[in-house]
Chain A
Amino acid sequence: MTPNAPIPVLVIDDEVQILRLLRHALEADGYDVHEAKTGKLALGEVACLQPQAIVLDLGLPDLDGIEVLRRLREWSQVPVLVLTVRNSENDVIAALNAGADDYLTKPFRARELLARLRAILRRTRAANEVPVVRFGEIEIDLAGHLVRKAGVDLHLSAKEYAVLKMLVLNRGRVVTHRQILREVWGPNAEQNTHYLRAYMAHLRNKLEANPRAPAYLKTESGIGYRLLED
């Protein structure tokens, strides 16, 4: 789904090699790549370039990546993909809570990067209003509140449907436990991750061909869930 006109993307990283790597991968996919090496410069660049997406490394020399996100989110809703290293679930969760749209762990594959970027770009492209979403044998009719598996109607409880709908609307993107719990169970249930795990197990049993090795309803280690697309 390479766009016709190149989409401007801002990459914020202080590592020259990573920058070159990202530029290579992104330009090959038809993006218009801009660079910023510090958080402060980046905030200025966002204002004047008006990029359609941002790739942000959390380890910046001047400002904490999460601080950059926070300042950015005060005035802009541009989609942000965060780059991080392993063992930093807390940073990832903080970044996602601060308004990042998705994350990618280094070392990453170019294919993964492009897929994530596409998913977060879709958020702004009115793709959410697609009435019917399909993956594998599953068909979800958001307008009609219907879920079908291989053409057969599935019965989902209200909360199951609410969880699934949230993942479908954000398909391809990670959704944190907190976001789902807040949305479905209310702000006082943020700690009750076992509710969410129980409902996710129900959903997998109903939707997945092999619930023990889910192909679509994926767990993101310690962070949340992601609905994979075909």
Chain B
Amino acid sequence: MRAEFIEESVESLDTMKPPAQLSRPPLPPTVPGSGSGSPLPPASVTAQRSMLVAVGPSPHSEQLVRWTGRQSTMLKTPWAAVHVESARPIGAAAQRLVDKHLALARELGAQIIITQDEDAASALVRVAEKGNFAQVIVGQSRRRRWLGRWRRPSLADRLLGMSHGLEVHVVPLDETLPAKSRPLFDIPARSSWHEYALVLSVIIALTVLGMQLPRSYYVQIGLVYLLAINLLSLRVGRGPILTAGIVIALTWDYIFAPPYFEFGIDNLPDLVLFGTYFVVALIAGHSAARLRAQAHNERLREERATALFQFTRALAEAKNLAEAALGAVTQIDDMIGSSSAVAFADENNDLPEPVFHGSLLPNERERAAAIWAFRNRRVNGRFTETETDCAVYFSPLLHEDQAFGVLGVKLLPAKTLSLGQRDLLDAFTQHLALVVERAQLRAAGEREKLLAESEKLHHALLESVSHELRTPLAVIAATSEELVEAKIPGSSDLAAEIHEAALRLNRLVANLLDQTRLESGALRPHLDWCDPQDLINAAVESTRDAFAGRPLEISIPEDMPFVRADFALTEQVLVNLLLNAARHTPLRAPVTITTGIDFSGRRAFFSVADRGPGIPAALRAELFKKFSRGDAAPPGGLGLGLSIVHGFIAAQGGEVIFGDNSGGGAIITCYLPHTAPETPPPE
């Protein structure tokens, strides 16, 4: 629900135009004939252009809203429904219809715009220009209007007259719908009987007073009456004022104006005065009503602004999500007299078991409705078109098309949700969504920071240990090598021993550090395209000493593609596998290293096969555990090699599988996820 409430200032109030065409029901048709609606443009023309549909209390509005909703869904364009409020009250029943139509539009995905203007056409043009709407859709009866030529031009005609570059689509309306006629004098419900009583008592008091005066004062009495009408218009509604105007005019004519106690006026000045009563009463009544309507609208707006302000403040003061929820729910309950509750999505942005905070405790059925609203990111329950028998209105907390929770509002069965209240609830849910998102982002940020800190610490520690251990080893290795090369008789062999031991120790240290890196979680593979040939070459080169005198077969398919891997990690994996094979097999037993793409084409593999005794059954379950070594294994080694192989491959998203080599020996295969690299562009 992406409704937005756009408020506009009351503009051309000084104009005294008839009510907006929108809210006027089509008049009974008399002349059958061709429709005045222009044919709709083909879909391709309207593609990618937002639409604006005018909505009023007419029953045809619903048809129009549904039509526009369908079009916009088909063309995937945004759309909005506009209602133009005029200062003249339209009556409670009509207002309910407008609310219903706007609610429908909102459910169909429209943005809702309510604006004030005395002229619907100019309001539509203004909204369209402001909101960059390319097309305006209005409805028009198929048949020619009664007295069509003498009436004001239709809304569509006026729109066409004043819109520059705006497309106006006129949808021919179905006449089979019953068109409810609106009462000629729409007397606002607010004018209660005591307004009439006040008016009558004022008139009686003035009349009684006036009868005490000499007859010749009848003109002045008339002026006092006029003054009274003007003053009364400030207090009472349109109906009572009109009544007052009529009663006073007749009273004055009957009692005060000559001929006395007789209807009828015998001179021109009195006739003018008599007429003036009517006109003044009409004008005063009208402007009074408008002023009141305006004041009413202002009050509604102010209430809304205050509610929003208090809501935001309640959210801002909350220290955590639960507090924010309670604050929000309290505000909502105060405002619309409901019981309501909020449930928030979990970290995975799901709502498997909603936990509701607030004054409402939904039952099983309502919880299901809440989950539906959350999953489908649409309102659900009462006052909606789905699951209407659910007593609670559920609205998802949406922000940028993501649901962060759900708000449930339950009203007494007799109460309904007005459009304004619904708008307010919408604004609230959007605010709440923002609050949840902010909280989630903050939590994620903190987690990330903690992780980065710990990683940094680990890195520093590893670096320093690595440096401390390796520096002396490097010195021993380099100096012993110098000694070997110096070929000092008698010491050269000893130096060679030192050199070999240093290199072995260096490998052990490397393995221990690798294992630590794996366990600390500080291992972040840097995947890059690698040539499997390069990988194998590098591994073979660094195990050259261990394979002296042992046959090593390398098998790489001719068309072997590049694989995506961390070069250093994968090289280390191959080194460990080769050393492992060399270590656990007889001195001259051949070892084969093979690479390729498996039959699925989605995995690359590297396997090392030997002709040794195979993997002992007792060891199989724990082969990849650290410090696990075979009983028959030659002394030396920590049992870290395969554990590291497993860890490094898993870190790259692959897996390691071991088995028996057909024909004797063991085979260990590492699989890595594979997608073929794109070929370089031709030169």
Q: Which residues of A contact B437 (CB under 8 A)?
A: none
Q: Which residues of A contact B683 (CB under 8 A)?
A: 157-159
A43 within 8 A of B: no
Residues 529-545 of B contacting A (Cβ, < 8 Å): 529-531, 533-534, 537-538
Contact check, A110 vs B475: say whether CB atoms are below 8 A apart.
no
Q: Which residues of B contact A15 (CB under 8 A)?
A: 471, 475
Which of A2-10, A45-53, A69-77, A196-204 forms part of the interface with chain B? A196-204
Closest CB of chain B to A33's CB: distance in Å? Answer: 16
Total interface residues in chain A, CB < 8 Å: 36
B606 within 8 A of A: no
- Measured CA separation A90–B523 after assembly (Å): 12
Total interface residues in chain B, CB < 8 Å: 42
Contact residue among A86, A106, A158, A200 (Cβ-Cβ distance under 8 Å from B531): A200
A212 within 8 A of B: yes
B467 within 8 A of A: yes
Contact check, A194 vs B677: say whether CB atoms are below 8 A apart.
yes
Closest CB of chain A to B568's CB: distance in Å? Answer: 5
The interface centre, meaning the residue of A18, A87, A192 with most chain B CB atoms within 10 A of its CB, is: A87
- Measured CA separation A59–B207 after assembly (Å): 109
Contact residue among B466, B502, B530, B567 (Cβ-Cβ distance under 8 Å from A89): B567
Closest CB of chain B to A113's CB: distance in Å? Answer: 9
- Measured CA separation A152–B307 after assembly (Å): 88
Given A59-B463, A85-B467, A222-B567; A197-B474 close (CB under 8 Å): no
Contact check, A193 vs B680: say whether CB atoms are below 8 A apart.
no
Contact check, B481 vs A110: say whether CB atoms are below 8 A apart.
yes
Q: Which residues of B contact A195 (CB under 8 A)?
A: 680
Contact residue among A89, A157, A219 (Cβ-Cβ distance under 8 Å from B534): A219
Contact check, A221 vs B568: say whether CB atoms are below 8 A apart.
yes
Q: Which residues of B contact A21 (CB under 8 A)?
A: 475, 478-479
Q: Which residues of A contact B678 (CB under 8 A)?
A: 194
Contact check, B531 vs A219: say whether CB atoms are below 8 A apart.
yes
- Measured CA separation A199–B562 after assembly (Å): 12
Q: Which residues of B contact A212 (CB under 8 A)?
A: 533, 537, 554, 556
A135 within 8 A of B: no
* Per-residue B-contact encoding for A202-229, CB less than 8 Å = 1, 0 else: 0000000000111000010110000000
- Measured CA separation A109–B477 after assembly (Å): 8
Contact check, B471 vs A199: say whether CB atoms are below 8 A apart.
no
Closest CB of chain B to A187's CB: distance in Å? Answer: 16
Closest CB of chain A to B369's CB: distance in Å? Answer: 49
Contact check, A193 vs B528: say whether CB atoms are below 8 A apart.
yes
Contact residue among A158, A198, A222 (Cβ-Cβ distance under 8 Å from B568): A222
Q: Which residues of B contact A59 (CB under 8 A)?
A: 463, 467
Contact residue among A86, A89, A193, A197 (Cβ-Cβ distance under 8 Å from B510): A86
- Measured CA separation A221–B571 after assembly (Å): 8
Q: Which residues of B contact A199 (CB under 8 A)?
A: 680
Contact check, A194 vs B529: say whether CB atoms are below 8 A apart.
yes
- Measured CA separation A88–B556 after assembly (Å): 28
Contact check, B562 vs A197: say whether CB atoms are below 8 A apart.
yes
Contact check, B482 vs A110: say whether CB atoms are below 8 A apart.
yes
Given A17-B472, A107-B470; A219-B538 close (CB under 8 Å): yes
Chain A: CB-nearest residue to B560: A201
Closest CB of chain B to A19's CB: distance in Å? Answer: 10
Q: Which residues of B contact A24 (CB under 8 A)?
A: 482
Contact check, A107 vs B680: say whether CB atoms are below 8 A apart.
no
B514 within 8 A of A: yes
- Measured CA separation A106–B475 after assembly (Å): 9
Residues 463-509 of B contacting A (Cβ, < 8 Å): 463, 466-467, 470-475, 477-479, 481-482, 502-503, 506
Q: Which residues of B contact A158 (CB under 8 A)?
A: 683
Chain B: CB-nearest residue to A198: B680
Closest CB of chain A to B676's CB: distance in Å? Answer: 10
Q: Which residues of B contact A222 (CB under 8 A)?
A: 526, 528, 566-568, 571
B267 within 8 A of A: no
Closest CB of chain A to B234's CB: distance in Å? Answer: 75
B273 within 8 A of A: no
The interface centre, meaning the residue of A24, A157, A159, A222 with most chain B CB atoms within 10 A of its CB, is: A222
Q: Which residues of A contact B680 (CB under 8 A)?
A: 192, 194-195, 198-199
Closest CB of chain A to B511's CB: distance in Å? Answer: 11
- Measured CA separation A199–B681 after assembly (Å): 11
- Measured CA separation A197–B556 after assembly (Å): 16
- Measured CA separation A18–B474 after assembly (Å): 8
Closest CB of chain B to A72's CB: distance in Å? Answer: 21
B679 within 8 A of A: yes
- Measured CA separation A177–B534 after assembly (Å): 14
Q: Which residues of A contact B478 (CB under 8 A)?
A: 21, 25, 107-110
Closest CB of chain B to A89's CB: distance in Å? Answer: 5
Contact check, B471 vs A17: say whether CB atoms are below 8 A apart.
yes
B355 within 8 A of A: no
Contact check, B475 vs A213: say whether CB atoms are below 8 A apart.
no
Closest CB of chain B to A104's CB: distance in Å? Answer: 10
B513 within 8 A of A: yes
Q: Which residues of B contact A18 (CB under 8 A)?
A: 471, 474-475
Contact check, A194 vs B562: say whether CB atoms are below 8 A apart.
yes
- Measured CA separation A212–B478 after assembly (Å): 31
Q: Which residues of A contact B677 (CB under 8 A)?
A: 194
Contact residue among B466, B470, B531 (Cβ-Cβ distance under 8 Å from A197): B531
Chain A: CB-nearest residue to B507: A86
Contact check, A87 vs B510: say whether CB atoms are below 8 A apart.
yes
Closest CB of chain B to A175's CB: distance in Å? Answer: 15
Q: Which residues of B contact A90 (CB under 8 A)?
A: 526
- Measured CA separation A105–B554 after assembly (Å): 27
Q: Which residues of A contact B679 (CB under 8 A)?
A: 198
Given A221-B538, A222-B566; A106-B470 close (CB under 8 Å): yes
Closest CB of chain A to B495's CB: distance in Å? Answer: 14
- Measured CA separation A15–B467 after assembly (Å): 10
Q: Which residues of A contact B562 (CB under 8 A)?
A: 194, 197-198
Contact check, A197 vs B529: say whether CB atoms are below 8 A apart.
yes
Q: Which residues of B contact A198 (CB under 8 A)?
A: 562, 679-680
Contact check, A106 vs B471: say whether CB atoms are below 8 A apart.
yes
Chain A: CB-nearest residue to B533: A212
Given A87-B513, A212-B556, A219-B538; A108-B568 close (CB under 8 Å): no
- Measured CA separation A193–B567 after assembly (Å): 12
Q: Which residues of B contact A106 (CB under 8 A)?
A: 470-471, 474
Given A17-B471, A21-B478, A222-B571, 18 other A-B residues pairs in contact with their CB atoms under 8 A: A18-B475, A24-B482, A59-B463, A59-B467, A87-B510, A89-B567, A89-B568, A107-B478, A107-B503, A109-B481, A157-B683, A194-B529, A194-B677, A197-B530, A219-B538, A221-B538, A221-B571, A222-B567
Residues of B that sit less than 8 Å from A by CB: 463, 466-467, 470-475, 477-479, 481-482, 502-503, 506, 510, 513-514, 517, 526, 528-531, 533-534, 537-538, 554, 556, 562, 566-568, 571, 677-680, 683
Q: Can you list 28 A-B pairs, Cβ within 8 angstroms, ordered by A?
A: A17-B472, A18-B475, A59-B463, A85-B466, A87-B466, A87-B510, A87-B514, A89-B526, A89-B567, A108-B478, A109-B481, A157-B683, A192-B680, A193-B528, A193-B529, A194-B529, A194-B677, A197-B530, A197-B534, A197-B562, A198-B680, A200-B531, A201-B531, A212-B533, A212-B556, A221-B568, A221-B571, A222-B526
Closest A-B pairs by Cβ, 7 of them: A222-B567, A194-B529, A107-B474, A107-B477, A195-B680, A106-B474, A194-B677
